[in-house]
Amino acid sequence: HCAGIALETVSSTLFPCLLKVMRIMYRAFLALIAQDDDTNHHMEMITAASNLRAENYNIQPADRMKTKQIAGRIIPAIATTTATVAGLMIGTTKPPLERFKNGFINLALPFFGFSEPIAAPVKKYNESSFTLWDRLEIQGPKTLQEAVDWIQASSRSYNETGLEVTMLSSGVSLIYSFFMDAKKRAHRMPME
């Protein structure tokens, strides 16, 4: 969501407008970015664009001042890569999802490589199917007991038997397992 508006709504109204603007302004022109001039609103545009990108990649958005600090520290050598990626992004205003590919650029060679990720293998459990990419999102805070109960209850919506939680981990830390010492497991269950 973007300011309480569904992204589907934003994209269905925004992209036609952007295409009209692109048709009107079909000639490219050089626009110098002046970060220190507050009257030209360049930093507002940079902040807005970077926050849209941050929203896509689950990155913490930045305010205008933070953006100004970051933009002031950019190393000029990175500009080549940034310009290359920005140029490639212009051509991808709204491509069909089927045309998406992973791309790799090595500016030292120069080398452009593209690949298509394969679909995750589909696993079967009773009548349900799932992949490695499927996930359950838990809204917290929850105790360990509440999390285990929630996972088991949520999995019953897929089939009658549901899932039995045998292990929970975070990174390299084992939080819960069926083979864990009963005393340790009982101690952890009420923890958030």
The pLDDT value recorded for residue 26 is 62
pLDDT band at 28 (very low <50, low <70, confident <90, very high): low
On the question of pLDDT at 27 being above 70, the answer is no
Question: What is the overall mean pLDDT for the chain?
Answer: 77
Helical ranges in 25-159 per DSSP H: 42-56, 64-72, 78-90, 144-155
Measured distance between the N- and C-terminal CA atoms of the chain, rounded to whole angstroms: 28
Write down the residue that tokens 């038997």 correspond to.
Answer: 161
Using one digit for the tens of pLDDT, what is the confidence trace for 50-71? 888 888 888 899 998 888 888 7
Sort 87 into a burial class: Cβ within 10 Å, 0-12 / 13-18 / 19+: exposed
Using one digit for the tens of pLDDT, what is the confidence trace for 162-186? 677 888 888 788 888 889 888 998 9
pLDDT band at 102 (very low <50, low <70, confident <90, very high): confident
Helical packing angle, 42-56 and 64-72, nearest 10°: 100
- Would you call 162 helix, strand, or coil by DSSP? coil
The pLDDT value recorded for residue 58 is 87
CA distances to 14, 62, 104 from 93, rounded to whole Å, are 11, 24, 19
